[in-house]
Structure 1
Amino acid sequence: MQNASHRIRVYQASDCPELTRLDVSKLGRAYHKIPKIISTKFDSIEARLGIFFLKKYRLNALLSNLTFDIDYHCKNAQIFSTPYGSIGFDINRKFLLSILHTYYGLSKEGNTVSLDLTQSVTKTEDRLKIKLGQELLQLTMVKEVLNETLELKNDYTSIIHQWPYSVRFWLEGYDEYCFSILLDAHHVDLLLATSRVDSESDEPKAKNLSSEQIEHMFNNMPLTLTGRLVSINLTVAQLLNIGPGDIIPVSLNEPLPVFIENEQIFSSVVAEERGRLYLSEFNDKTPEMKYE
């Protein structure tokens, strides 16, 4: 027997590249490409932000860094609705109060205004946050990254605390000054789709699609699978007699029928892992036997 020597190299945590954790529900979405997509617009976004804060709010603020988070939890985000879904905006309160005092002239002529973060949020702060949200969303994300002009409407009815993706903008010279743009799954898909269109626009477009391209498009067409986990047959009389506290006996379908819209395609088995249910062991739909 020969003893093989193994060498182990130890890296410091600061030397390791930043890792992106992907949840099972996010498979198929290239979340790891988002930082690169937005970072390519860094210089343009920095120039737009510098002019915006200087002209409109008399604040000398330049962009210093961008940070990205998946599954970002935020309770106090200002939510806006667009034709594609919901998009959120949040800003550091110290930064918001600084803009407020500078905008209304409370900090000029050598006057030092203390930013008391223990006081309750005022209506003026709420109005400024909404105004900033609309302006900064259009300036940094919608026009610059998505290349669209979306109508942003205040959404006071939606309650969203967990966002699939967030982009945080940090300002140079202010360690605590930042604002965040929060994207739901629909806007993440829109961002990725826009980046694909931009990359494809640089290539010469074919006038006619080949058979291989058509086959590729067909094979990559997104489909929604629906599984019927539980089924029960009830008469109308039984349904009308159901009251609070009644127990309805049900039986789990085994195997589970899987549908595309209303058409059953195949059957599968339900598997549980880490508190989530998954479809596994797909089988073709058993053809019905006809007897004469």
Structure 2
Amino acid sequence: MNDQHIDLLSQLDSLMTERHRADLAEVDRLPTLEVLRLMNAEDQGVAAAVGRCLPELAAAVDAVAERIGRGGRLVYAGAGTAGRLGVLDASECPPTFNSPPGQVIGLIAGGPDAVVTAVEGAEDRPELAAQDLARIGLTAADAVVGISASGRTPYAIGAVETARRAGAMTIALACNPGSALGHAAEIAIEVAVGPEFLTGSTRLKAGTAQKLVLNMLSTVVMIRLGKTFGNLMVDLRATNDKLRARSRRIVALATGADDAAVEQALAATGGEVKNAILVILGAVDGPTAARLLDHADGRLRDALQQV
């Protein structure tokens, strides 16, 4: 065994997410229901661990919202499960919040193929992160979130270091306190979920924690940007029958209007939910609603105050 392998083993031994749970050493001999109960019990602490990181998460939300508000982008960068979760969160923003294409971007070590197939060795190459960020034209206006359960993945660290040199906002999302990734970033969100049910399988509790944090980060950023009205997705993009039905329901919930009035408002605004709500609550026509929202930078509450 060479010195590099010995050093790697030493690093893994020091990571909370890699620790072995001796009390679970006989888990494969237990009845299925008992195994599931044990696994479920492990998951119970994930949300609480995320809760302990809310101050750092709030700082990240405000920093990202400020960057996007002046034309920047939110970029996720990770490898394996962490990278896939970033890609997933980025892909869900346009249909949920009608965010412009490219405003939220997910980068994964090894490129798009790595979303469905492991690309061996890609996570160990920080230069790939620099190349991926150069390809999307990273600027100082952007915010980059490096995602790594261990907090030591070279690709994620490389992304954060490259972004910081470019003047972009940098955030770390890891599951080990005091991680190298956390030290590299301006804001460190380190969710201490503890050892995994299966030793080192960070798609489990660590992956769940990362999904929760990314849900919160992108959702509250969009709330801060005026993409919601209360808890209603008023910037929803209706691209199929289900979403068109949801659009009608959102307008009805926001206004209390009957079906006929909702349909009339949506017809007058080309199906734009936010505009239709303003038509009803502001008693204005479609073009006026569009103009008011444009002047209010898309914020429905601000537009209503102009009526």
Q: TM-score range by the shorter chain?
A: under 0.3
Larger Rg: 1
TM-score, length basis structure 1: 0.24
Taking structure 2 as the reference length, the TM-score comes to: 0.23
In terms of fraction of residues, the more helix-rich structure is 2
| Bigger fraction of residues in strand | 1
